[in-house]
Amino acid sequence: MDSERSYTVAHLPGDGIGPEVTAVARDLVDQAGRKHGFTVGWSDCPLGSGYYLRTGEVLPGEILADLRKADAVLLGAVGSPGVPPGVLERGLLLRLRFELDLYVNLRPARLRPGVASPYGGSGLNAVVIRENTEGLYAGAGGIVHKGKAFETATEESLNTRAGVERCVRYAAALAARRSGRLTLVHKTNVLVNAGSLWMRVAEEVAAETGVQLDYAHVDAACLYLVSDPARFDVIVTDNLFGDILTDLAAALTGGLGLSASGNLNPDKSGPSIFEPVHGSAPDIAGTGQANPAGAVLSASLMLDHLGETMAAADLDSAVDTVLAEGGATSTGAWAAALSAELSRAR
Ligand code: IPM
Ligand code: MN
């Protein structure tokens, strides 16, 4: 007899609306688990603004060690007006991406039935694979002559062959399971060094795997996402381009409230982190207005990554159904509608 499957998931709700939206996602994961025969042991992770302001620490070693033991992390959002910019972004979010080697940032961009997209986006059904540990995010650079007239600030984009290749390979494998088309987005006409490396690696991987490789400069890709979104299926791109493109893709597919992401360690040598693309939205925290769909869809990506593909598909289609019926107007109404849909669906 099969013993029941069980997973340890660290719940890192964070700040602002993070706790509100991840509570909904967590309940739905438990509900899907009861239906599909698995259990999740949740461990609570207190990190975020409150923890930093109380202790002066952003990511203590013991907590990082605990996170490493989890099968996955479900993260809400971090950031609050009381913490200077960069402290939690670099010290927590990026540090986790680097420490856990989460080199793929998976961001689906699909205009779901019933969602009105005021900006276009009709026919958009793509996945953006954003390199997540290198590029301009790597932290190379500095400031010299601070405060002087010629104070100089540099940020260097780091691109390693191995780092680019592992990301492109993930994207090519995904493309092979979908349409067979992969679009590299870069800026090879100006960033001739990094662009050359990305292009050569993408060509090599495409030749080896048989996927059809297209290319678009990042500025043109922004235009096409709006004017001709159907040309994209799987997009692979560097860290900063991916950050920007995925906010645009979110606007085209119903807004940040519906956008999900997975920070993946595809080799599964440690946990991956799943989080809605939106931030902590302190302006609406506590008002019950936050849309939990982005967190729920992130939990769906998490279940898929853990191998619970049927539960993952259930959560995804519950969001589709609720959206097709006009969506919901509060966090609580979303939770009730999604839960009802999950128990109804077979
Ligand atoms: C995102 C966010 C982060 C990023 C910030 C908060 C560090 O914008 O996940 O897209 O730039 O990656
Ligand atoms: Mn972003």
Domain ranges within the chain, ordered by starting residue: 1-103+256-346, 116-252
Ligand 1 atom index nearest CA of 97: 12
Tally Cβ neighbours within 10 Å of residue 215.
17
Structure tokens, 16: 């602002």
Q: How far is CA 21 from CA 2, 124, 130, 260, 281, in A?
A: 33, 25, 24, 12, 11
Q: State whether the Cα torsion 88-160-127-247 is positive or negative.
A: positive
Residue 53's SS3 state is helix
Residue with CA at minimum distance from ligand 1 atom 3: 89
Query: Which listed residue (238, 243, 304, 314) is catalytic?
Result: 243
> 186: exposed, middle or buried (C-beta count within 10 Å: 0-12, 13-18, 19+)?
buried
Residue 122 has a pLDDT of: 83
Q: How far is CA 101 from CA 96, 97, 133, 252, in A?
A: 8, 6, 7, 30
Residue with CA at minimum distance from ligand 1 atom 8: 243
Q: Does the beta carbon of 93 sit less than 6 angstroms from any atom of ligand 1?
A: yes
Residue 330 has a pLDDT of: 97
Residue 3 has a pLDDT of: 58
Residue 315 has a pLDDT of: 98
Fold of 116-252: Isopropylmalate Dehydrogenase (3.40.718)
At the fourth CATH level, the homologous superfamily of domain 1-103+256-346 is Isopropylmalate Dehydrogenase (3.40.718.10)
Q: Is 247 a catalytic residue?
A: yes
Q: Is 27 a catalytic residue?
A: no
Residue 82's SS3 state is coil
Could you tell me which of 283, 280, 293, 282 has the C-alpha nearest to residue 329?
293
Same fold for the pair 1-103+256-346 and 116-252:
yes
Structure tokens, 274: 């799943």
The stretches in the chain having pLDDT less than 50 are 1
